[in-house]
Structure 1
Amino acid sequence: MGGNQTQIKFILLGITDRPYAQTPLFVLFLLIYIVTLVGNVGIITLVRVSPILHTPMYFLLTHFAFMDICYSTVISPRMLADLLSEDKTISFTACMMQLFTLAFLATVECHLLAMMAYDRHVAICQPLLYVTIISSRVCWQLVASSYLFAFLSAIIYTWCVFGGSFCGPNRIDHFFCDAVPVLKLVCSDTHSTSLLGVSSSLVVLLSYVAIIPTILSINSAEGKRKAFSTCTSHLTTVSIFYGACFFMYLFPSSHSSRGADKWAVVLYTIVTPMLNPLIYSLRNKEVKEFRTRQNGDVGRCSTVC
């Protein structure tokens, strides 16, 4: 690739090169995108209108849901358009901005997952100090710091990817400008990109290292069950998110596994944002209690009417 890099145009090869599969995939991903928007907007609305959900955990969850909406919106509309279009080119600037936005959103999500893990750690290991440690002010400070850190780290990450010289073909074997396929076109050293984003996963790990022994030390089986139930939704989300990420970014891929890599990315960029509202709305007892109250109110109203 010669000349001014800002004039470069990449070609996104997409999720599949089979024409007969593009229309069914368009319908599938469109439905997933709609469900993602409805589900995450529903979670945000539910938390805001329900006093029982005005807790630090659900405050963090609303930000997480908002990140899921943004994350899906950065990827899905472009992917849907490419499935029906023959022109799959994307400019250097647009590709760089897409990666920057995704790096920012992914970093915020990692930090929010770490904050949720810390919230569960304090709730289970230090319940008497929970209100003092996880106050409203602390929540706002943690969220604000995560946005600031994510912005700065996204700038560094994007510069590490796009700051080098491009000497390969302009074909990106992916359905969006992800770091791994873009780095295959870069000539210069890019090892520094592999260290970003590790700290939040360590916070999650260390939190549960402290949580699990505390839960196991509870004498009653009912107490253990209740303690584990407070962590189930978060653990499910963490497992899906980090499992797919680690598969994509920590394990070397071969030419034969490129299709598996793409579907792993689909899992954590498109499917996971759709599943998160379902996980939290179906598993959390507070949401169940709110829905039960709402159903009871509707039942009483219908009886009176």
Structure 2
Amino acid sequence: MVGPVPPGNCTAVTEFVFLAFPGQLWLQALHFTGMMLFFAATVTGNLLILKAIRGDARLHTPMYFFLESLSIIELSYAATIFPQMLVNSLQERKSITFRGCGAQMFFFIGLGSADCFLLVVMAYDRYVAICHPLHYMLRMTRRFCLGLVALSLALGGLLSLQIAALIFYLPFCGSNGVNHFFCDVNPVLKLASTDTRPAEIAQFAVSVLVLAVPFLVICISYVYIITTILRIHSAEGRRRTFHTCSSHLMVVLLQYSSCGVVYLHPKGIWSDKLDRQFSLVYTVVNPILNPLIYSLRNKELKQAIVKVIRR
């Protein structure tokens, strides 16, 4: 599978070569070790959350069901990026096939978008629990929760399919050096041998739908949540109620700030190197911090994880 070839004496690109990996052998070994540790921490942290939630009947509630779904998405997201990155760290030629790059971009965008949509769902869950507690169990049924998770995945997949198809339908001819560690949208788009403005506009529109709109919805939800919390007469009651959503709020700020910096900033405002560094935050750091934030700030989940470790 290759992209359409433009007129003229030109060979279509059949593979991409990643240029961001270090050249020295000792730096490559250091990079491999670091990525392996990050991958192991991501898998371990999220598997512990899954095991803890499934093994403790107290955690069989909508809030923890969404957290469980978030961990599954985080694991899938990491599996899309880390294995290829680790393999390339050990290879002399750090490449990926044209079709493999398209598949990696599709899953990367799809799972990342589903992650953002699921954070909106979790904000809605906290809104109903705090602002309408008497209706919570009536609204947040198992079937409804499953539907919200499925909708998040479906929307992420649909938007991802459109972007990946639009980009990889473009002709790629000549340069195949991707200035990144994986097939991210902007570095690949720069290699297209034609006008990329329609694809850039579509990519920005999807970024707004995935990042700006959900973040606005979450902010509105928290306005209602905080207003309701402030009406609680007891200081201890206010503290305990806010504590139930503080972890989610921290994850939201971390996720949307790191992604927004990369995908919503004006073109050319800073270097590709800085873009790459920010992208590593949401691809490498966030999947580790998310389970850590939830486990450290949630007493019930922390106790369940300790039980799993002791077993």
With the length of structure 1 as denominator, give the TM-score of the two structures: 0.89
**Residues 130-153 of structure 1: per-residue CA shift (max 9 Å, x gap):** 111111111011112222222222
Partners of 1:204 and 1:17 lie apart in 2 by 43
Contact 1:172 1:181 in 2 (8 A): yes
The alpha carbon displacement at 1:214 in A equals: 1.8
Whole-angstrom CA distance in 1 between matches of 2:25 and 2:238: 52
Structure 1 position 19, deviation (Å): 4.7
Deviations 1:96-138 (A, max 9, x none): 1100011111121111111101101111111111111111111
Query: Once the two structures are superposed, what CA deviation does each residue of 1:189-240 show, in whole Å capped at 9, x if it has no partner?
Result: 2211112114333332221122122222323221221121111111111111
Is it true that 1:25 corresponds to 2:31 in the alignment?
Answer: yes
2:247 alignment partner, one of 233, 247, 253: 233
Residues 3-18 of structure 1 aligned to structure 2 (within 5 Å):
5=12, 8-17=14-23
Distance 2:173 2:51 in 1: 48
1:92 paired residue number: 98
1:250 Cα deviation after fit = 1.5
User: Structure 2: which amino acid aligns with 1:192?
Assistant: A
Structure 1: state its 5+ residue gaps: 299-305
Q: Is the 8 A contact 1:118 1:203 kept in 2?
A: no
Count, aligned residues: 294
Q: Is the 8 A contact 2:118 2:149 kept in 1?
A: yes
Is 1:74 equivalent to 2:74 in the alignment? no
Partner of 2:234: 220
CA RMSD of aligned residues (A): 2.2
Q: Distance in 2 between matches of 1:27 and 1:19?
A: 12
Stretch of structure 1 that moved more, 203-212 or 49-58: 203-212
Letter of the aligned partner of 1:110 in structure 2?
C
Residue number in structure 1 paired with 2:89: 83
Contact 1:170–1:185 (Cα < 8 Å) also in 2: yes
Measured in 1, the distance between the counterparts of 2:304 and 2:97 equals 47
Residues 99 and 178, structure 1, Cα contact 8 Å, conserved in 2: yes
Q: Measure the CA separation in 2 of the matches of 1:262 and 1:290.
A: 37
Determine the structure 2 residue equivalent to 1:193. 203
Structure 2 counterpart of 1:276, from 286, 290, 295: 290
Q: Which residue of 2 aligns with 1:266?
A: 280
Q: Is the 8 A contact 1:8 1:91 kept in 2?
A: yes
Give me the whole-angstrom Cα distance separating, in 2, the residues matched to 1:24 and 1:113: 34
Q: Is the 8 A contact 1:160 1:193 kept in 2?
A: no
Separation in 2, partners of 1:239, 1:38? 23
Matched, 1:155 2:169: no
Contact 1:13 1:175 in 2 (8 A): yes
Q: How far apart, CA to CA, are the structure 2 residues paired with 1:242 and 1:275?
A: 14
Is it true that 1:35 corresponds to 2:41 in the alignment? yes
- Residues 49 and 305, structure 2, Cα contact 8 Å, conserved in 1: no
Contact 1:12 1:175 in 2 (8 A): yes
Question: Does 2:55 align with 1:49?
Answer: yes
